[in-house]
Amino acid sequence: EKGGYEHFMLKEIFEQPKSIHDTMRGRLLVDEGVIKMAGIWDHVERFKNANRIIIIACGTSWHAGLIGEYLIEEYARIPVEVEYASEFRYRNPIITDKDVVIAISQSGETADTMAALKLAKEKGAFIYGICNVVDSSIARITDAGSYTHAGPEIGVASTKAFTAQLTILTLIAFKLGKHNGNLGNADFMSLIAELDAIPKKIEEVLNTTHELVQNIAKDFVNATNFLYLGRGYNYPAALEGALKLKEISYIHAEGYPAAEMKHGPIALIDENMPIVIIAPKKGHYDKIVSNVQEIKARKGKVIAVVNKGDQQVSAMADYVIEIPETSECFSPIVASVPLQLLAYYIAVYRGANVDQPRNLAKSVTVE
């Protein structure tokens, strides 16, 4: 059932070209220049007239929500807030019938997310679900939604569900932006063509980085800490990279927006600190270059995820992982893949049970 892979997690990482493709199938019609999503279309005025969109989730799904905020604000220009379900539900949040709530949950059973939705529903908000498990509790309580068609995710650490969530959020942002006129037709057409090519790019990343990342992992088996840095769309990708490492390898890791480094974490940097830095060409590249200079001046060990042919960051980094270039909004999908592999191999070399990490459950049905 693991299809020849040693763990479900590795199988699921490798399934991503297919799971992303399946998530877009029937929705992204590139030749017709259309994104078809009945759940959005049937309630499009509700979205269009929303005071704001509130995204509610936990864990990895919350990281997807942060990227959703960047996507929806950039392309649809609708204000978005992202909240941990557990914080939202207990802080007497301001919520009205003019708000749209998007819940993101792989399992559809997360207790805090469910409770937050019940609260939002009582206050009259429109509830949209992004779930992977069909007919799950959250899917049933929502007013409308889109399933991520990632297929069953067995590994406790979420991988393919995360990239499928990003795919749905991208489709939603583009569809709303096209409808409300914030995303012009030419840009819409080129973005959807690029989105359509993402599964191929993921395939390429898997082929070209798998062995390399495996080798890099060997050098960090005894690390006790890691920092993950990114900017813009890749700031949440850094948070997610750090979470993956923590969960399965039990190495302490923190994700940060790269510019926040100088407000504290830079004090941690010495020759023993590995720093994963996501530095694609599009998206604050020059700023990232100076962040890397600051790290190298303090002898930190830099593992850089860069675009093919990169020069500046690559020249300074100790380890270089190349990924294909994309528009900034797609870079977290592509950059996440080598970070999943890195966490996976470090955990495997440490002898950890990657599919069933200690203290964790696949669906968190207690608060």
Q: What is the DSSP string of 55-72?
A: EEE-HHHHHHHHHHHHHH
Q: How far is CA 203 from CA 82, 188, 198, 206, 297, in A?
A: 30, 24, 9, 5, 36
Q: Read off the DSSP letter of residue 131.
A: E
* Residue 207 burial (CB count, 10 A): 9
Residue pair 159/359 in contact (Cβ under 8 Å)? The answer is no
Nearer to ligand F6R among residue 110 and residue 163 (C-beta): 110
CB of 110 to ligand F6R, least distance (A): 3
Nearer to ligand F6R among residue 72 and residue 239 (C-beta): 239
d(CA 71, CA 83): 16
From the number of C-beta atoms within 10 Å of its C-beta (0-12, 13-18, 19+), residue 51 rates as middle
Site for ligand F6R in 240-259 (CB under 6 A): 243, 247
- Please report whether residue 16 would count as binding ligand F6R according to CB under 6 A: no
Among 106, 142, 146, 340, binds ligand F6R (CB under 6 A): 106
- Please report whether residue 113 would count as binding ligand F6R according to CB under 6 A: yes
Q: Which stretch binds ligand F6R (CB under 6 A): 48-56, 87-95, 104-112, 339-347?
A: 104-112
- Please report whether residue 23 would count as binding ligand F6R according to CB under 6 A: no
- Please report whether residue 117 would count as binding ligand F6R according to CB under 6 A: no
Q: Which stretch binds ligand F6R (CB under 6 A): 46-54, 87-95, 99-107, 342-350?
A: 99-107
The two beta strands, 34-35 and 28-29, are antiparallel
* Those residues with Cβ within 8 angstroms of residue 209's Cβ, 6 or more apart along the chain or in another chain: 321, 322, 323, 337, 338, 341
CB of 343 to ligand F6R, least distance (A): 10
Q: Is 362 marked active-site?
A: yes
- Point out the residues that are catalytic: 362
Q: Which residues bind ligand F6R (CB under 6 A)?
A: 58-61, 105-107, 110, 113, 157-158, 243, 247, 363-364
